[in-house]
Chain A
Amino acid sequence: MKGLSVSKAVTALMLAGLVLLPLYSYLSGNIFILTLFTRIVILAMAAASLNLIMGFGGMMSFGHAAYLGIGGYAVGMLAQEGIGSGFIQFPVALAASAVYALVIGALSLRTRGVYFIMITLAFAQMAYYVASGLARYGGDDGLTVYKRSDFHGLINLSDRTQFYYLCLACLFGVIFLIWRIVNSRFGLVVQGLRSNEQRMQAIGFPAKRYKLVCFVISGMMCGLAGALLANNTDFVSPAVMYWTRSGDLMVMVILGGMGTLFGPVMGAVVYLLLEEFLSQITEYWALIMGPLLLLIVLFGRGGIMGLLGRVGRG
């Protein structure tokens, strides 16, 4: 019980920090930190969405970055065509991610294990090459988003603080939704499928349909992150979908603690801050980051959340 409370305390501290960050940025005059954390919050959302299928559903998608790209391109392409309203851009981003996830999921869920990892990767690579071929929308060079999504005065995405809080609200919304899903009857079935698919099927649950719905929800959440990311960087390019980006997301989830509610957020914060911190010390930051990941795998089972749990138990 004490172990649980340490990880809970650290999580609460982290969340309070995220909420109060703009205040710190304002008081210290450090604008950069707000920009950095906007990115962290958005990628934490993507990691959380991956965790929904990976941690709770046992589906290891190695192509999750594709949704970042699809959400981003939905915003970028509509903006390019003169449709700047966020009330159109965001629903389109969600719908596009859902359709992609539905098709990919229906095909990929025929396989399992390493084959599933590889087929999701293959589809993401296809999306990468499709985006590279979009000459009208920048092709390889990517697409500049000249104007951020317009929410008709409701919220101004060009205002750093407002945009940050929008992203944070979306992150909390996504995590709340995941919490509701995981604890619902639907979520329990999906988790049951992870432990023993045959048994669940024998009881009479249509396994693939449950997994597919979960896969689509996860894709839409990541698509939302993609739409926000395009607004954050004012730019979207095929590189967002490259397989190493999917690897980054996976690292965040595993680093923070797979199958825990706040683990992926923790993982994203730690991974991206570490990257930022190390790159300030040395140009060769990856020289430290790489072995660090290896050590975490070797000695830190269960990620940061697992570590905190063990510290608590003493």
Chain B
Amino acid sequence: MLLVVEQFLNGLQFGLLLFLLAAGLTLVFGIMDLVNLAHGSLYMIGAYFAATFAAWTGSFLLGALMALGATLILGIVLEMSALRHLYGRDHLDHVLATFGLILFFNEAVRLIWGPAGLALPLPPWLTVPVPILPGIQYPAYRLAIIIVALLVALLLYLGVMRTRIGMLIRAGASNREMIGALGINIKLLYTLVFGLGAALAGLAGLMQAPILTVQIGMGENILILAFVIIVIGGIGSIRGAFLAAIFVGMIDTLGRAFLPNLLRQVLSGAAASTAAPALSSMLIYLLMAIVLVVRPEGLFPANRR
């Protein structure tokens, strides 16, 4: 029982973290129609910034805030210097250009921080276990991730659906020229959206950093997960990304936790212990393939186009 609740929360936490990454990606993808493979690099750099700034300032929170700002600025610089020239181009051009950016960022990180990974230690007040149910405790930091991600999701939803800027962003997604003709500075708007997406990726990275080692290439695995999520959820749909992220986070975590035991019931011990890791890594891809075969547009397609 304890294990089930804990794994359930772990799945929720991982799913929400994935949502932050997927939300930024789907903003950029759905609105600017830009396939940004380098989104994972921003996640990685957010983690590196956080580890560095936290070590400088000696404060976890201060370091995280500075990292968030730095990733936002980096995203804006990246959009203005390179990516804005790619709008309206073929998706393949995006893939090639941002693939180049991945190479660049991985190497730049290796040059600046060296090949060994970094660690981002948690402050003591975030390491204590918190009782959530009678007799069940959960690490404070993971709880904090859940709360922060839920807050961000709420703000994002309100920002996109209820504010004027959100309205312009949504309008820009459907018809870029029209919004420009109405006298809105669409260039600036796109730059801001991209910066926001970058900051979300950075936030996901810096929050994940204390749980994993901060290392080169950490963005690549998780980037694919983020793509899986936006494809399952329906491209351009924040709501779809949210639900799909939690779904994927749960399936991935629960699969890894419980699949080995389940398999052991049907297979011999040796066969089960070799098949289980491969099968649990495959689960989400299997899920995506099934979803796309049944609903080629994703589960919650954005209601446009």
Residues of A within 8 A of B (CB): 54, 60, 62, 107, 110-115, 117-119, 121-123, 125-126, 129-130, 132-133, 135, 139, 243-244, 247, 250-251, 254-255, 258, 284-287, 289-294, 296-298
Could you jot down 16 A-B contacts, CB within 8 Å? A117-B95, A121-B227, A125-B282, A130-B282, A132-B277, A133-B275, A244-B102, A250-B92, A284-B107, A286-B104, A287-B107, A291-B100, A294-B82, A294-B97, A297-B93, A298-B85
Do A125 and B100 contact each other (CB < 8 Å), given the known contacts A287-B111, A297-B86?
A: no
Binds A, one of B151-159, B182-190, B195-203, B292-300: B292-300
> In the assembly, what is the distance between CA of A306 and CA of B105, in Å?
28
**3 interchain residue pairs of minimum CB distance:** A133-B278, A290-B104, A293-B100
Chain A interface, >50% SS class = helix
Q: Whole-angstrom distance from the CB of B28 to the nearest CB of chain A?
A: 13
B101 touches A132 (CB 8 A): no
The answer to whether B279 has its CB under 8 Å from any CB of chain A is yes
Q: Which residue numbers of B lie inside 8 Å of A, CB to CB?
A: 29, 35, 37, 82, 85-86, 89, 91-93, 95-97, 99-108, 110-111, 220, 224, 227-228, 231, 235, 274-275, 277-279, 281-282, 285-286, 288-289, 292-293, 296-298
A115 and B231 contacting across the interface, CB-CB below 8 Å: yes
A34 to B57 Cα, complex, angstroms:
53
B residues near A126, Cβ cutoff 8 Å: 282, 285-286, 289
* A266 vs chain B, min Cβ distance (A): 15
Report how far A119 CA is from B285 CA in the complex, Å: 8
Give the distance in Å from the alpha carbon of A243 to the alpha carbon of B279 in the complex.
18
Query: What chain A residues lie within 8 Å of B101 (beta carbons)?
Result: 290, 294
Query: Which single member of A125, A130, A251, A286 contacts B224 (CB below 8 Å)?
Result: A125
* Contact yes or no, A114 B235, CB < 8 A: yes
Kindly state the separation between the CA atoms of A286 and B107 in the bound complex, as whole angstroms.
6
Assembled-state Cα–Cα distance A244/B86 (Å): 21
Query: In whole angstroms, what is the CA distance A294 to B296 when docked?
Result: 31
Contacts of A293 in B (CB 8 A): 96-97, 99-100, 103
Q: How far is the CA of A121 from the CA of B292 in the complex (A)?
A: 12
Report the minimal beta-carbon distance from B106 to chain A, rounded to whole angstroms.
Answer: 6
**Nearest Cβ on chain B to A5's Cβ, whole angstroms:** 27
